[in-house]
Structure 1
Amino acid sequence: MTLPLAPCLPTYRARRRFALATVLLALFAIGAGPDRPRAVWAVKDREARQPQVTIGAEGRVYLAFGAGNEIRVASSDDAGRSFSEPVTVGSPGMLALGMRRGPRIAAGQGAVVVSAIGGLGGGPYGGLSAGDLWSWRSLDGGKTWEEPIRLNRVEGSAREGLHAMAAGPEGQIACVWTDLRDDRAHIRGVISADGGQTWGAELLIHQSPEGPICPCCHPSVAFGPDGTLYVMWRDAISGARDMYLCRSTDGGRTFEPARKLGLGTWPLDVCPMDGGAIAAGPEGKVTTVWMRDGRLYSAEPGQPERLLGPGVQGWASWGPGGPFLAWLDRRPGRLLTLRPGDAEPVELFRSANDPSIAAALDGRGPVFAAWEAGPGGSGIFVARLDDPGDPE
């Protein structure tokens, strides 16, 4: 008797190709060199996208990501050597993913908070015809999650799908997003003073003087150790798409006038779909990282920008010794990281997408990076940047 093998061959071959690809990926990308941190394969799921990482109490590492329309969280209690099976937080309908869309995560006052934007149906903004920003809170280390809270007060106004979230030194949490009410993209935000249990009044943080801000570049938010709140976005003023930063020293009640970052400018008529990140340190020190015309720069407020090289999708966080930076040389492409004291960036991964970095709030470490493997994907990887080499 001849068994009908033919119908099974495509599935078998696809699985074999995926298995071979992941083995090869592990061989050339995970191993650590003398100066390269070791990457851990934290989530083995091809649907896992847009990872964000944060450090909670006692150094516990939390990793949030999207898979389909679900928001999931995995965690590590052994300094990032291994990660738990992901827990499903919830689903806001059609989850906004891709190009820095996706969930965000922060920890404060014994709580872990996740935020994400979702809606129903198709539309021009991130695949959403309606999009709202929601937050979930866990009080047991991410095992269970409370019912979500909607953060944008005007229904559907967060439909661009882009937002950012950060925790402060006193457990406060800030969430900012690109808002499209009145069809004019601008930056709004809310702040929680109790670890995400409740949220304050909606804040109008910035509205461009000439019309909408650059609508498809994600905003950034960060707290300094002294509680100063920083927000960054790409504006569209006089035909240029440059990065701007503002700050609040009174807990978000008021914001100082926005300041352009860097001395150069970028005349551009379209959105480049690339935001940036803020690393806020002690004594008011701030470093930003962002892209202009295919090149990545770092800049301090009021100072000339520093060229890092060809790059996109930059991220930053303040850790031991100063700012830790990460970016791609292209998308997808090589993942590079520059740590305090390094003369040159180190290649962390051969082919990656959308990296993010998080450091402990006290700035003393640890510092972790997370990213998607690409192209095609085989899951999410995590590496501890302030502790290079084999974690064992």
Structure 2
Amino acid sequence: METTPFTKCSALKPILAAVFLISPFAARAGESATRVRALRVPGVSKIVKAQSGTDGVIHLLFAEVDGPHYANSRDGGATFSPPIPVLDAAARKPGLEFHAEDLAVGKDGRVHVAMSCNAWKLKLPQEEWSLHYATLAPDAKTFSPVRNLNRKPSEGFCLAADERGRVTAAFLSSKLFAMTSNDSGVTFGPWAELNPAWNPCDCCTTSATYGPDGKLALIYREETNHERDVYVVLWDQRSESKPARTRLSGVSWNVNACPMTYYSINRTDTGYVAAWPTKGQVYFAKLDQEGKVLPPGEIKTPGTNGMRTGILALSAADGTTLVAWKNKDVLGWQLYDAKGRPEGKPGSETSPGNGAAGVVLRDGRFLLFP
């Protein structure tokens, strides 16, 4: 996920083609070209998020000079549809800039998008310094009007959606909050603090997904006593049970400053796979459905990260895992077998922006979008 905080804006290049033809780049030495491929979309240089739906459609959220845009592929990444702007006309106001934060695909392939904006910079009312949201219905040609979802100064936005029509939007505002929809984003309940005792690192972000058992899994970084540990929160929204958390990061990190880091959690057939940075080094682990780290435990990758640079972990059905990271306009990656052992050498491609985006195809191949 690429998160643009209140204090940062970015200039983006325009789309050059209506229908995108994809050019594959050969995998680096030591990698199987049939398992990991880096695909560039002509005219698109800053892809924020990619997600594959249950029907195999690949969904892309990317940044443009006039705001977030969306495209999809129904042929495994061979071609992409013409771009669709996420912003409606009413949302476009002089000086107001929106930034793509996250994308989630839910019931019937409905697309959900979270955005931030520079309302703080324009000295607009603080309720505009918030999470903005739009959705694309199945087969629709345009996104819904942009909605101010939480009306609260906030950042660190993420979305999760499932096949039952549930959508959760999480955010940071000194504490960790979430709000949930049970009707595919038509309505959301009020935001609620997940636990007053938790003290998240505000300048970092959040990442969330629904697991195979229907629970919501969300990761964030703590800052209590300057211990910047990463936790996974599990929340069974179908019951009245409260969210519970488990520490993910085994390597401690005590620092009296916000590290401004991103992370990733995604669903697997048996639980989750997560990746995060500690002291500038990227780690990953597989988790069971209760959030417990599975053997061989936390694994250190060759990847390094910068401030607010993307990290991604994806697992195929056979347990093979791809970990990718962004640093200094380079997207790097390493493939791991089901036992957590490196498979081949690390790969890399030049890649502007902060996002690390990719998907797993139905045949177990991985596609990355530098």
State the TM-score, normalizing by the size of structure 2.
0.76
SS in 2 for 1:282: coil
Q: Report percent identity of matched pairs.
A: 20
CA deviation after TM superposition for structure 1 residue 151, in Å: 1.8
Change (3 A) 1:169 1:253: farther
Q: Which residue does the alignment assign to 1:116?
A: 115
Give matches, 1:253-272, under 5 Å. Answer: 254-272=241-259
CA deviation after TM superposition for structure 1 residue 50, in Å: 4.5
Partners of 2:65 and 2:239 lie apart in 1 by 34
CA deviation after TM superposition for structure 1 residue 31, in Å: 2.7
Q: Which residue does the alignment assign to 2:148?
A: 150
Change (3 A) 1:102 1:307: same
Partners of 2:127 and 2:368 lie apart in 1 by 30
SS in 2 for 1:258: strand
Q: Which residue does the alignment assign to 1:385?
A: none
Partners of 2:314 and 2:168 lie apart in 1 by 16
Q: Which residue does the alignment assign to 2:178?
A: 189
**Residue 135 of structure 1 contacts residue 151 of structure 1 at CA under 8 Å; is this kept in 2?**
yes
Gaps of 5+ in 2: 1-21
Does residue 331 (structure 1) correspond to residue 328 (structure 2)? The answer is yes
Q: Which residue does the alignment assign to 1:54?
A: 51
Q: Which residue does the alignment assign to 1:295?
A: 281
CA deviation after TM superposition for structure 1 residue 340, in Å: 4.1
Structure exhibiting the larger radius of gyration computed from Cα positions:
1
**Residue 229 of structure 1 contacts residue 247 of structure 1 at CA under 8 Å; is this kept in 2?**
yes
Gaps of 5+ in 1: 1-25, 180-184, 372-380, 382-392
Give matches, 1:184-333, under 5 Å. Answer: 185-209=174-198, 212-251=199-238, 254-283=241-270, 285-299=271-285, 300=287, 301-303=291-293, 304-312=297-305, 313-322=310-319, 324-328=321-325, 330-333=327-330
Write the letter of the residue equivalent to 1:277: S
User: How well do the aligned residues superpose, as a CA RMSD in angstroms?
Assistant: 3.2
Q: Which residue does the alignment assign to 1:387?
A: none
**CA deviation map 1:60-92 (0-9, x unaligned):** 211112213412101111111111221112065
Change (3 A) 1:45 1:224: closer
Does residue 172 (structure 1) correspond to residue 166 (structure 2)? The answer is yes
* Number of aligned positions between the proteins: 324
Partners of 2:63 and 2:42 lie apart in 1 by 11
CA deviation after TM superposition for structure 1 residue 131, in Å: 1.9
CA deviation after TM superposition for structure 1 residue 366, in Å: 6.2
SS in 1 for 2:144: coil
SS in 2 for 1:354: coil
Q: Which residue does the alignment assign to 1:17?
A: none
Change (3 A) 1:262 1:322: same
Partners of 1:326 and 1:339 lie apart in 2 by 8
Change (3 A) 1:200 1:129: closer
Partners of 1:103 and 1:369 lie apart in 2 by 18
**Residue 103 of structure 1 contacts residue 117 of structure 1 at CA under 8 Å; is this kept in 2?**
no
CA deviation after TM superposition for structure 1 residue 110, in Å: 4.2
**CA deviation map 1:199-240 (0-9, x unaligned):** 22323224455xx52111110101111201111101101221
SS in 2 for 1:143: coil
- 4+ residue segments displaced more than 6 Å: none
**CA deviation map 1:292-336 (0-9, x unaligned):** 001111234444422123422321234322363332373333411
Write the letter of the residue equivalent to 2:302: G
Q: Which residue does the alignment assign to 2:80?
A: 83
**Residue 73 of structure 2 contacts residue 81 of structure 2 at CA under 8 Å; is this kept in 1?**
yes
**Residue 167 of structure 1 contacts residue 222 of structure 1 at CA under 8 Å; is this kept in 2?**
yes
SS in 1 for 2:226: coil
**Residue 219 of structure 2 contacts residue 231 of structure 2 at CA under 8 Å; is this kept in 1?**
yes
CA deviation after TM superposition for structure 1 residue 43, in Å: 4.5
Structure in which a larger fraction of residues adopt helix: 1
Partners of 1:148 and 1:262 lie apart in 2 by 36
**Residue 311 of structure 1 contacts residue 328 of structure 1 at CA under 8 Å; is this kept in 2?**
yes
